[in-house]
Chain A
Amino acid sequence: MDDPVAVQIPSDEVKAQAKRRKGWFFHPYTHLLLSIVLSAVAQLCLKKGATRTLVPEVWLGVEGLRSGWVWLAILAMVTSLFSWLYSLRFVPLNIAYNLAGLIQVLVPLGCWLLLGERIGLERLCGILLVCVGVFIVAQPLMRVEEKL
């Protein structure tokens, strides 16, 4: 279990490095939040691009690459990944995982506010159940993922 990726506790050196880089931009939680918001944004952009370029008969959406929205989504995903990796060097993994569950809230919220999707009571209840489930699973999932 000496997997270097699985080492979660920030070393003193890493902490000191974080202190040296002052300013809000280098704050780990800024990047954690950025990463979460960006992955929600990516999903919304992807949805916009997919609706515009794809026909319902096709199941593999390669054609979507013709849309600028999809490339924007890919850019957001990559940026989100780097922000996530940066924040994980300082933020304890259990906190990061719990906060990452926020995506399940942000995406439907964005669908309602930005994409004009109608979310009925039944769907809302389902979404909320998934959210609670994701939060409960976050802790044990983190432990398991280290070993996989």
Chain B
Amino acid sequence: MTPFFFLVVVISECCSVAGQLFFKHAMGGSDGVGKGKLTAGIAVMAVGFFLWMGLMSKFDLSYLYPFDGLNRVLLMIGASVILKEKMTLNLWVGVTLICAGVLIVSRTGAG
């Protein structure tokens, strides 16, 4: 695993998290569907999707897919920064396990 590969994975995951949040806020507004947010959501989702597909052509899916767990870690980091949400012990344990798992998977041959 090269640092560049890791960067692409993280960007792709960030795009999908951002896309989900844009969608949610586009649908949840009191004044109907927010068109701007919906467009932004579709745009970042598409970037994330194509990056992910690019990654897929280079690596085993069983190698790549565990990195999707980082999606949750990013969401958690986002929440603790933006919302100043307290990180409970449960959360720390879960996040640590995901990161450790991803680290172990990344040590295996990329296939």
Contact = CB atoms under 8 A, between A and B. Distances in A.
Interface of A: 3-6, 43-44, 46-47, 49-51, 53-56, 58-62, 64, 70, 104, 107-108, 111-112, 115, 117-120, 122-123, 125-137, 139-141, 144-145, 147-148
Contacts of B24: 5, 148
A54 B53 contact: yes
Nearest to B70: A130
Contacts, number: 168
A133 B28 contact: no
Given A123-B108, A133-B95, A140-B90, A58 B54 contact: yes
A133 B50 contact: no
Contact of A61 (B57, B60, B82, B91): B57
Given A51-B56, A119-B62, 6 more contacts: A61-B52, A112-B62, A122-B108, A137-B94, A140-B76, A140-B90
A17 B81 CA distance: 40
Nearest to A54: B57
Range for the number of chain B residues in contact with chain A: 35 or more
B65 A107 contact: yes
A123 B63 contact: yes
A111 B108 CA distance: 16
A130 B69 contact: yes
Given A129-B97, A129-B100, A139-B90, A148 B108 contact: no
B65 A123 contact: no
Given A119-B62, A140-B88, A147-B83, A129 B98 contact: yes
Nearest to B100: A129
Contact of A130 (B51, B85, B97): B97
